[in-house]
Chain A
Amino acid sequence: MSDHELDALARLYRQHAREAPAGHVDAQILALATRGAAAHRASHVWPWLAVGMAASLALVIGLHLSAVVTAPTGRAPADGPPPGYDDGRTRNYLVGMDIDPPASSVAGTLRDRMHTP
């Protein structure tokens, strides 16, 4: 068999064979391929979307729990008690403060008149 002659026949055939698939067939196949590619992309998006949603949920729950724990004390989590909060000296000072108003001459005059028959 002569490869040269067979190749020449193949080239001659290719020169004269001009049929092509119809346009609607092309459209159907390309649409099917596009759907396949889109499905592939979607299948790769969902895992990442699920991971993102799980991370967001964990963050929200964490923040919520942190707020619940810190609310009764009102403390900053990293700092100790606020200055003077548990300091007995401060409390004693506040309890021992003189809260009576100072004596007033006007008040004394009024009191005297009310008690005078």
Chain B
Amino acid sequence: MYVTTTDHPFAALVASLNLGFAHEPASKPQDDAMLMQRYRQGDANAFGILYGRYRRRLHRYLLRLAPGAADAEEVFQDVWAAVIRGRHAYRADTSFASWLFAIAHRRAADRWRTLDRHAPDWRNSGQDTSDVEDVVVAAIYAPDHVVQSEALGAALLEAINALPVVQRDAFLLKAEGELTLDQIASVTGTSRETVKSRLRYAQARLRTALEAWQ
């Protein structure tokens, strides 16, 4: 059902766009570990650098999993407070990003379960159908015909928001956390194959949602 070749037309479309990023560059794990070590020794500036690296990425990760922006902000603060309090529990031989997003994943899951409203089903296998295609149609026929890349980006964000939560979680851990499959499996407490499956479904849904742009 899913096209897996690298010469899929969508790949060419993405490659044709200017992807000079507003995204923070990925940092070296040892640099993050060094900064955490300095912070553990009382250097607040080291924490400031780490926070600057990850604040946007973590915020967006939580924002797209939360039922609302206020909930996301609350969990965001909770996660960083946990990082500050638990700084001595961090092991320098592990990726800081993986550790940070693991905390965020747990806190977010606990938070949504506690709220028990709009709570995403974290055990969902990801087979839900959604109206991702509607998002694209809306973007195509948006008034004023906005610039293509902007409209494509907006359609993609909407399509991501429409993904089942476990697929969205896996995709965001890859896109925002820049985690490997093994790291995502560790963070989500699943197997590597489960993560691959979730990402494959997410990719297929996103591709379908954006096919109209090719």
Q: How large is the interface on B (under 10, 10 to 19, 20 to 34, 35 or more residues)?
A: 35 or more
Q: Give the contacting residue for B19; candidates A15, A28, A29, A37; CB below 8 A.
A: A15
Q: Return the CB mask of A2-20 against B: 1 if under 8 Å, else 0.
A: 1011101111111111111
Q: Does A33 contact B (CB under 8 A)?
A: yes
CB-based contact B207/A36 at 8 Å: no
Alpha-carbon separation in the docked complex, A34 to B203 (Å): 41
CB-based contact A12/B17 at 8 Å: yes
Alpha-carbon separation in the docked complex, A20 to B2 (Å): 34
Q: Which residues of chain A are near B154, meaning CB under 8 Å?
A: 16
Q: Does A38 contact B (CB under 8 A)?
A: yes
CB-based contact B157/A13 at 8 Å: yes
Q: Does B14 contact A (CB under 8 A)?
A: yes
Q: Which residues of chain A are near B47, meaning CB under 8 Å?
A: 30, 33, 37
Q: Which residues in chain B, 54-94, are within 8 Å of chain A measured between CB atoms?
A: 55-56, 59-60, 63, 73, 76-77, 80-81, 84-85, 87
Q: Does A41 contact B (CB under 8 A)?
A: yes
Q: Which residues of chain B are near A20, meaning CB under 8 Å?
A: 55-56, 59
Also in contact, A19 and B56, with CB within 8 A (given A9-B14, A12-B17): yes
Q: Does A99 contact B (CB under 8 A)?
A: no
List residues of B whose CB falls within 8 A of some A CB.
2-6, 8, 10-11, 14-15, 17, 19-23, 39-44, 47-48, 51, 55-56, 59-60, 63, 73, 76-77, 80-81, 84-85, 87, 150, 152-154, 156-157, 160, 171, 174-176, 196, 199-200, 203, 206-207
| Shortest distance between the CB of B110 and any CB in chain A (Å) | 19
CB-based contact B174/A10 at 8 Å: yes
Q: Which residues of chain B are near A5, meaning CB under 8 Å?
A: 6, 8, 10-11, 14, 203, 207
Chain A to chain B contacts (Cβ below 8 Å), 16 pairs = A1-B199, A2-B8, A2-B203, A4-B6, A4-B11, A9-B203, A10-B175, A12-B17, A13-B153, A13-B156, A13-B175, A15-B20, A19-B59, A29-B84, A33-B48, A44-B42
Alpha-carbon separation in the docked complex, A18 to B48 (Å): 20
Alpha-carbon separation in the docked complex, A40 to B51 (Å): 19
Alpha-carbon separation in the docked complex, A28 to B84 (Å): 12
